[in-house]
């Protein structure tokens, strides 16, 4: 049983928000991976709402689109006043 273990290389995960870098040993071939938010700048880990750049993920964008769609569905269109002309009925015009 020789050489059954895969070879590892270091991969750098770089946070786009705070520019912090994390180096991890991995079997993948990627050298650098950009990360949107890390544990250094995420509001859950630091205990407060971030006052810097507000990052909106895909879920928040989708929920905002969904809310605007619901608002548009709930709006009732204005009813136009329909004027109907009565047709002359046969036999009643003699009266």
- What are the DSSP calls for 28-74, one per residue? SS-SEEEES--TTT-HHHHTS---SPPP--HHHHHHHHHHHHHHHHH
Q: How many folded domains does the chain comprise?
A: 1
Q: Comparing C-alpha atoms, which of 47, 44, 39 is closest to residue 18?
A: 39
Is 80 part of a structural domain of the chain?
Answer: no
Which pLDDT score is estimated for 71? 79
Is 34 part of a structural domain of the chain?
Answer: yes
Q: In 10 A of CB 17, how many CB atoms?
A: 16
Is pTM, for the whole model, over 0.75?
no
Q: Walk along the chain (95 residues) and give the pLDDT tens digit of each residue.
A: 688 888 999 999 999 888 899 999 999 888 999 998 888 887 776 777 654 445 567 778 878 888 888 777 777 777 788 888 877 777 665 55
Range of the domain at 60: 9-71
Which pLDDT score is estimated for 22? 92
Is 84 part of a structural domain of the chain?
Answer: no
Quick check: helix, strand or coil at residue 76? Answer: coil
Is 92 part of a structural domain of the chain?
Answer: no
Per-residue model confidence as pLDDT tens digits over 47-68: 776 544 455 677 788 788 888 8
Is 57 part of a structural domain of the chain?
Answer: yes
């Amino acid at each position: 049983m020789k050489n059954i273990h895969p070879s590892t290389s270091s991969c750098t995960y770089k946070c786009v928000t705070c520019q912090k870098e994390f180096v991890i040993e991995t079997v993948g071939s990627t050298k650098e991976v950009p990360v949107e938010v890390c544990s250094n700048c995420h509001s859950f880990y630091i205990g407060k709402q971030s006052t810097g750049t507000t990052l909106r993920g895909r879920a928040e964008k989708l929920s905002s689109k969904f809310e605007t769609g619901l608002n548009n569905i709930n709006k009732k269109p204005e009813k136009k006043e329909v004027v109907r002309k009565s047709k002359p009925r046969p036999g009643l015009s003699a009266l």
